Amino acid sequence: MEPRPAVTRTLTFPMPGRALFTNRVLRAHWSVRHRLVAAHRQHCRAIVNHYFATLPDWGRQYQFAWVEAEVVFVLPEMPDGRRRKRSKWPDNDGCLTASKAMFDALVDQGVLVDDGPEYVRSVTVRQERPPTGPEEIRVTLKGEPR
């Protein structure tokens, strides 16, 4: 059986609160952290559900057997034109913590089988800094449909 062609889907999520980035999440009390992660995960579930429900024939063709993911954190410059201090930008490994709830939501909604290494083969994280626009996270999934 020959492999099916790769499919690419891009979802846009709102930026979670800064408390979900690694440097801040480690300082928070576990109950506060749990509430923040649960709320963000629920919000991500609603976005995933809405995105795939608007596509025609929602079903197995939108479920991935495996994916390679690119996570882009869009962090625009300050509205008044000032530049952010270097310390105000989260580093890329800190961004992975903030994107965990998004991958969990993709699993919860059945888009991914699991978020383990056999299903999510690679995750690339990068940042963009446009002059204006909303803070958001774009997740591009490229993989083989189930």
Q: Judge whether 1 lies within some domain.
A: no
Is residue 95 included in any domain, yes or no? yes
CATH code of the domain containing 36 = 3.30.1330.70
DSSP tag of 55: S
96 within domain boundaries? yes
pLDDT in tens, 62-117: 788 899 999 998 887 766 555 555 556 677 777 777 788 889 989 988 889 999 99
- Is 2 contained in some domain? no
Cα 76–chain centre separation: 17
Q: Is residue 54 domain-resident?
A: yes
Answer whether 104's CB lies under 8 Å from 119's CB.
no
Task: Look at residue 15 and tell me if it is in a domain.
Answer: yes
Domain residues for the domain of 139 are 7-145
Q: Is residue 130 part of a domain?
A: yes
Least confident span in 14-23, 100-109, 136-145: 14-23
Amino acid at 94: G
What is the count of structural domains for the chain? 1
Q: Which residues, at least 6 apart from 96, have a Cβ–Cβ distance to it below 8 Å?
A: 22, 71, 123, 125
- The whole-model pTM stands at 0.80
